[in-house]
Amino acid sequence: MTQFLPLRDALAEHVPDGACIALEGFTHLIPFAAGHELIRQGRRGLHLVRMTPDLIYDQLIGAGAARKLTFSWGGNPGVGSLHRLRDAVEQGWPGPLELNEQTHAGMAAAYRAGAARLPFGMLRGYIGTDLSSHNPRIRKVACPYTGEELATVPAINPDVTILHAQRADRAGNVAIDGIVGSAREAALAATKLLVTVEEIVEAMPPAMNNVLLPHFTVTAVSHCPGGAWPSYAQGYYSRDNDFYLRWDSIARDRAAFTAWIDRHVRGTADHRDFLASIQRSAA
């Protein structure tokens, strides 16, 4: 049975310190509200998994919540560096960060394998790159039929995957429109799936081909309007490109970053309060 819980309770119940968690959503539907709530609750020692760490993991890393990062592209899209990620890797601040670095194709294969409960993902990939000599998890297998050597990556099976979606119905079915990235694969690869949604509706129209996670795959749903800001929710609000540009100067400096987190995340009660705090500071 899918639980319907306030976000605070869902994370308190299902995400312990040290958990391996994937907050997915490729540029679109990034579960920022959930990431912020993990910072508020002072979670520590997390293994963070995401193809593109984006601002959400920059914030979790800078706030000291992470011990390890599995990722495939760690920049601020169209802007430049993720300064908190860089500071952790280059200077070990606020603590050391172990990296499990992949390519997009490799990580996508690892999620697909995880969703299918296979031990590894396989691809014709990691060709002509030094990455495989620095990441011992990237290995090779010979095709039993042709002998061709193919790359393998161990399946990714997060303890908890967290998504943001447009809608859930009262049964706990979850629908996503627009860019889906690896959301579906990451969701089905996890032991538990938590979803924050813009809206809870009585019932959804038949899904046809849009991405739907059936209720028996969904551990808990939390109603959280605006939960993807500053990323976006197709049909609800646009990506706040201006905030992504401004993040560069906030995150560049340790003190400025910590002041921002203290004021807007640690200093607010929940996501509604967070958005109000952002609005006040912009006024």
Partner 1 sequence: MSDYTRDEMMTVAAARLLADGQVCFVGIGLPSAACNLARLTHAPKLVLIYESGTIGTRPTVLPLSIGDGELAETAVCVVPLPEIFSDYLQAGRVDVGFLGAAQIDRFGNLNSTVIGSYEKPRTRLPGAGGATEIAAHARQVFIVMKATPRSFVPKIDFQTSGGHFSGRAASGARGGGPAVIVTDLGILKPLVGSKEFALSVLYPGIPVEEARAAVGWPLAVAPEIETIAAPTASELVVLRALEARTEAAHRKPVRLPI
Closest approach of partner 1 to the CB of residue 17, in Å: 26
| Interactions with partner 1, residue window 187-216 (CB under 8 A) | 211
**CA-to-CA dists, residue 228 to 29, 121, 124, 236, 259, angstroms:** 5, 29, 34, 10, 22
Residue in 200, 258, 250 with CA at minimum distance from that of residue 230 = 250
- Minimum CB distance to partner 1 smaller for 4 or for 73: 73
**Binding segment toward partner 1, per CB under 8 A, in 155-163, 178-186, 250-258, 261-269:** 178-186
Structure-block tokens of residue 26: 């490729």
| Interactions with partner 1, residue window 39-98 (CB under 8 A) | 51-52, 71-75, 77-79, 81-82, 85-86, 89-90
| Interactions with partner 1, residue window 252-281 (CB under 8 A) | 272, 275-276, 278-279
- Minimum CB distance to partner 1 smaller for 14 or for 28: 28
- Minimum CB distance to partner 1 smaller for 67 or for 272: 272
Is the Cβ–Cβ distance between 163 and 31 less than 8 Å? yes
Closest approach of partner 1 to the CB of residue 56, in Å: 14
Residue 14 backbone class (left: φ over 0; alpha: ψ -120 to 50; beta: rest):
alpha
Beta-carbon contacts of residue 233 (< 8 Å; ≥ 6 apart): 28, 29, 164, 166, 198, 227
Closest approach of partner 1 to the CB of residue 181, in Å: 5
| Interactions with partner 1, residue window 89-148 (CB under 8 A) | 89-90, 101-105, 108-109, 111-112, 123-131, 134, 148
Closest approach of partner 1 to the CB of residue 16, in Å: 29
Residue type, 238: S
Selected from 22, 26, 189, 218, the binder of partner 1 by CB under 8 A is: 26
Closest approach of partner 1 to the CB of residue 51, in Å: 7
State the burial class of residue 145 (Cβ atoms within 10 Å of its Cβ: 0-12, 13-18, 19+).
exposed
Structure-block tokens of residue 90: 């280059």
| Interactions with partner 1, residue window 218-247 (CB under 8 A) | 225-226, 229, 232-234, 236-245
Residue 215 is classified by DSSP as: G
